[in-house]
Amino acid sequence: MSLADYLDAEQRPSGLITHIHLPWANGQGNSQRVARTPKDYPIVSVTGWQPEDGNWRLAVTGAGARPFRLTQAEELLANGRADQVIAAAQNACVHPGDFRGDADYRAEMTAVLTRRALSAAK
């Protein structure tokens, strides 16, 4: 079972994870986060990775119930529509908000951190 399928499953299978395969390729990446303090858990974080021979992969935490990929933003980047990537990342935020940040704040931070992750990796 892939990690994406596992994370997307409404009811996750139980049992012991006995094997993890991480295909690792040369490339570039960057991770950006915002938290209340430098040592605190991130409220929102965005991580980007671009293998030398592939397209960007973007993942976000704090923008939904679980971490997830910003697949629409990835597709826009792959199709040369970089002007729409930040808006797609922001629109992907579905977190209802909590004491650490309301929904609007989390959506805005998703946009800001996506921009930073992509620009810092170049």
Percentage of residues of the chain with pLDDT beyond 90? 73
pLDDT over threshold 80, residue 24: no
The residue type found at 58 is L
The token pair at 48 is 């980007």
Angle, alpha carbons 66-71-75 (nearest 5°): 170
State the pLDDT confidence band at 77, using cuts at 50, 70 and 90: very high
Q: Rounded to two decimals, what is the model's pTM?
A: 0.84
Query: Is the model's pLDDT at 122 over the cut of 70?
Result: no
- Domain segments of the chain: what residues? 26-121
Token duo for residue 34 = 């915002």
For the domain made up of 26-121, give the CATH fold.
Answer: Enolase-like; domain 1 (3.30.390)
Of 13-22, 90-99, 112-121, give the range with the top mean pLDDT: 90-99
- Cα 62 to Cα 19, 26, 41, 121: the distances in Å are 27, 27, 10, 21
